[in-house]
Structure 1
Amino acid sequence: SFSNQAVTHGTSAADTTPPVLITTGDLGPKVTGNQLTLTYTDESNLDAVNTAAASAFAVSSAGNAAAISVNSVAVSGKTVTLTLSRVVTSAETVTVSYTKPTGDNV
């Protein structure tokens, strides 16, 4: 038997440090066909269940007037893959922006 024993909660503290986009080197943003890959630094893996909607991302091209929309967002580990509405050619320079949505899917 025992009494008055301290109990520690079994979950760790919440991860409150936002991930940071890696912008240079082999892990920097890259486009292959219609897939734009973004890799982040973070203490743990990114949340693959509660991902931001495709509408949170905006992609544009300086070398092509054809619009680029984001059709879907997939998260695996520390990588976010955006499936774009069209293939990006090697001659194009694209930019990507992210607007943090309200709620939990950020």
Structure 2
Amino acid sequence: PQLIITGDSRPKITGNQLVLSFSDTGNLDADATHTPANGAFTVLVNGVANAVTSVSVDSQAKTVTLTLSTAVTSDQTVTVAYADPTTGNDANAIQDAAGN
């Protein structure tokens, strides 16, 4: 899956919810035991860390929603980084239902 960074499906933030949309031919893996760890994401708001308190996956919408510890306002700059927890294939990574 590839993160969509332009157009209507680009990352969106509302309050403390950051929604990331992905393009893929299949649905994302929404098995709760396969959800990436909160610590796999680094979110900076105006250059200051804003901790991810939960991660949820909507398989059919192909979105990953990060709940942040602090709400974000429209005038703030947000950056997000994701680090796959291992170098090999693993269950706790953003992936489609086929494991890609």
Fold in common (TM above 0.5): yes
The CA RMSD over aligned residues, in Å, is: 1.2
CA separation in 1, counterparts of 2:72 and 2:66?
A: 12
Percent identical pairs in the alignment equals: 57
Correspondence for 2:20 among 38, 45, 48 = 38
CA separation in 2, counterparts of 1:93 and 1:58?
A: 14
Correspondence for 2:7 among 11, 22, 25 = 25
Deviation of 1:69 (Å): 0.3
Tell me if 1:80 matches 2:64. yes
After superposing on structure 2, the runs of 4+ consecutive aligned residues of structure 1 that deviate more than 4 Å are none
Give the count of matched residue pairs: 86
Deviation of 1:95 (Å): 0.1
Deviation of 1:27 (Å): 0.3
Structure with more of its chain in helix, by fraction? 2
- For residue 8 of structure 2, give the secondary structure of its aligned residue in structure 1: coil
TM-score by length of 2: 0.81
Higher relative contact order (CA 8 A, sep 6+): 2
Correspondence for 1:104 among 63, 66, 91 = 91
**Rg (Cα) greater in structure:** 1
